[in-house]
Structure 1
């Protein structure tokens, strides 16, 4: 689930590609960076499929993960009834509308694809910065400020320079 490959992370950290000692940890960092950036942006930044249960009661509902690019299937949780996705329209913002036929009702399981075809400008670099930040703070290279007997942390999971590359978070619609 990472927008950064293992090779890209190693290059950012100046680790030899043949050195496999930290590969598992680096991929954990890459996955965590992608997740943190998605939470910051309130958007999916790596295209993938989601399955989500929604209780419906009308002709319009909203899916959680955006931007939505394709509605794969809709199935009644209790009934097993499959809904014809051709009679539904889904917008990138996750809004699902019934175009024809009865309204959506009850507990439904939506399977859909969300996320851009490729990372937007700055997202991959922001992920690399977060990985480097996490790597260096774990190893004590980013440094902490010592104020007497108190240690002030060196930063947060998303450094300011990475947050600036991402831009403002997408507004959340409840």
Structure 2
């Protein structure tokens, strides 16, 4: 899954659907737009399976997943594979938006383990999709020399501390990044 489809991107760029000459290149821009959008939002947008290593020490009953929002907790397995924990309700509770996981019943989490969960948005908002298309359009046009060279692109003012790849109008659509660790 991508933030936007190739068909939506081609429509945004006024490229006929039956013109497939640049599809591979456009898909590259679509894929590349994901990371800066997620970085700006401080959240996972495109749903995907994520596995992280956690050190639970000698008995943990609550922890935070690093990538949110959490769609589902898939598994928790010790590094050596000798132990696994039941991750479904009522054994564990997962707060999707915060990524907080609480052991409600069963043994506490111990030692080094691999935690796998699915994170991402179940519905990608229109503002996020439009921001991604604006970023893709900006990269597409600057690479082709369609627009004049202006900081920020398309007559936009340069935003101090920001790179050239994300136009200000895309940043405004995405909103201000929330403080904290993303």
Q: TM-score range by the shorter chain?
A: 0.7 to 0.9
Considering fraction of residues, name the structure with more strand.
Answer: 1
**TM-score normalized by the length of structure 2:** 0.84
C-alpha deviation, 1:79, in angstroms:
3.2
Distance 2:82 2:6 in 1: 40
Deviates more, 1:126-135 or 1:82-91: 82-91
For 2:71, the equivalent position in structure 1 comes to 69
Is this contact kept in 1: 2:63–2:102, CA < 8 A? yes
Partner of 1:159: 167
SS at match of 1:64: coil
Give the corresponding residue for 2:38.
38
Alpha-carbon offset, residue 116 of structure 1: 1.9
Unaligned segments of structure 2, at least 5 residues: 159-163
CA distance in structure 1 between the aligned counterparts of 2:76 and 2:40, rounded to whole angstroms: 29
Query: TM-score when scaled to structure 1?
Result: 0.87
Q: CA–CA distance in 2 between the matches of 1:139 and 1:51?
A: 38
Shift of 1:127: 0.6
Q: CA deviation at 1:24?
A: 1.0
SS at match of 1:18: coil
Residue in structure 1 matching 2:148, options 132, 143, 147: 143
RMSD: 1.9
Question: 1:149 — aligned with what?
Answer: none
Contact 1:43 1:170 in 2 (8 A): no
Paired residues of 1:53 and 1:107 also in contact (CA < 8 A)? yes
Q: For 2:34, what is the secondary structure of its paired residue?
A: helix
Change (3 A) 1:167 1:153: closer
Q: What secondary structure sits across from 2:71 in the alignment?
A: strand
- CA deviation digits over 1:111-165, x for unaligned, max 9? 21112211024000001001001101111123214xxxxxx67462211101111
Residue 130 (str. 1) matches residue 138 (str. 2): no
